[in-house]
Structure 1
Amino acid sequence: MSPPPPPLGRARKRDAQLFDPALCDAELVDVRSQFTQGRWARARALLVGTGDDWDRRGHRVVVLAQTPAATAWAREWLLAEPESADAATLLACASVFGALRHKGTPAAAEEACRRAAALLPADPTPWLGLLLLSRAFGSEEEFSRHFDQVRARHREHHHAHHLMVAKLAERVLVSGQDPLHEVYDFAAWAAEESPADSPLAVLPVVAHAERYRVLAATHGHSPEAAAAHWAGRRARQVLRSAFDWWLEWERDDHPRNRVDLNFLAHAKLCEGRPAEAAALFHRIGSHATRAPWSYPDRDPQKAFLAARGVALGTA
Structure 2
Amino acid sequence: MPLFDFKRRKAAVALVKAARARGMGVEDYVKTLSPAELAKYVPGADQPKTEMPDVALWGLPPGEDVTAEPFLADARLAEAVAAYRAGDWRPGARLLEEIGADWDRRAHAVQQLGDAAADDDLPLKEWRTAGSAAAEAVHAQGLVALAWQIRTRLTPEHVSEEQWAGFFRVLEDAEAATHAAIEAAPDDPTPWCTMLTVARGRQYDNDGFRAVWADLVARDPLHRPAHDQALQYWCAKWFGSHEQMFAFADEAAAKAPKLAGLALVAAHEAEAKDVEAWKSDRTERALDVALPWLAGEGRDHPANRRDRAYAAKALVVNGRGDEAVEQFKVLGTHADALVWAYGGKGAVFEFVKTRYLACHGATRP
Provide TM-score, normalisation by structure 2: 0.70
1:149 and 2:222 aligned: no
1:158 and 2:232 aligned: no
Q: 1:234 to 1:106 in 2, by over 3 A?
A: closer
Q: 1:115 to 1:275 in 2, by over 3 A?
A: same
1:269 and 2:316 aligned: yes
1:34 and 2:83 aligned: yes
Q: Which residue of 1 aligns with 2:352?
A: 305
Distance 2:222 2:346 in 1: 31
2:231 counterpart letter in structure 1? V
1:51 and 2:110 aligned: no
- The 3-state SS of whatever aligns with 2:234 is helix
- The 3-state SS of whatever aligns with 2:277 is helix
Distance 1:33 1:264 in 2: 30
Q: Which residue of 1 aligns with 2:48?
A: none
Provide TM-score, normalisation by structure 1: 0.81
1:93 and 2:141 aligned: yes
- The 3-state SS of whatever aligns with 1:20 is coil
Distance 1:101 1:245 in 2: 33
- The 3-state SS of whatever aligns with 2:121 is helix
Q: Which residue of 2 aligns with 1:126?
A: 191
Structure 2: 5+ residue runs without aligned partners?
Answer: 1-55, 151-165
Distance 2:198 2:180 in 1: 15
Instruction: Quote the offset at 1:157 in angstroms.
Output: 1.1
Distance 1:282 1:140 in 2: 42
Mapping of residues 273-292 of structure 1, within 5 Å: 273-292=320-339
8 A Cα contact 1:169 1:210, kept in partner: yes
Distance 1:39 1:166 in 2: 33
Instruction: Quote the offset at 1:90 in angstroms.
Output: 0.9
Q: 1:241 to 1:56 in 2, by over 3 A?
A: closer
1:27 counterpart letter in structure 2? R
Q: 1:254 to 1:136 in 2, by over 3 A?
A: same
Distance 1:172 1:43 in 2: 36
Distance 2:137 2:233 in 1: 24
**Highest CA radius of gyration, 1 or 2?**
2
Q: 1:3 to 1:30 in 2, by over 3 A?
A: farther
1:310 counterpart letter in structure 2? L
Instruction: Quote the offset at 1:172 in angstroms.
Output: 6.3
Q: Deviations over 1:192-228 (max 9, x none)?
A: 123xxx4112222222222222x23xxxxxxxx7xx5
Q: 1:172 to 1:296 in 2, by over 3 A?
A: farther
Instruction: Quote the offset at 1:284 in angstroms.
Output: 2.0
Q: Which residue of 1 aligns with 2:58?
A: 4
- The 3-state SS of whatever aligns with 2:302 is coil
1:187 counterpart letter in structure 2? A
Q: 1:283 to 1:241 in 2, by over 3 A?
A: same
Instruction: Quote the offset at 1:296 in angstroms.
Output: 5.7
1:207 and 2:261 aligned: no
Q: Deviations over 1:116-145 (max 9, x none)?
A: 111111111111111112222222333332
Instruction: Quote the offset at 1:297 in angstroms.
Output: 5.4
- The 3-state SS of whatever aligns with 1:193 is coil
RMSD across aligned C-alpha pairs, in angstroms?
2.6
Alignment coverage as a number of residue pairs: 285
Distance 2:261 2:351 in 1: 19
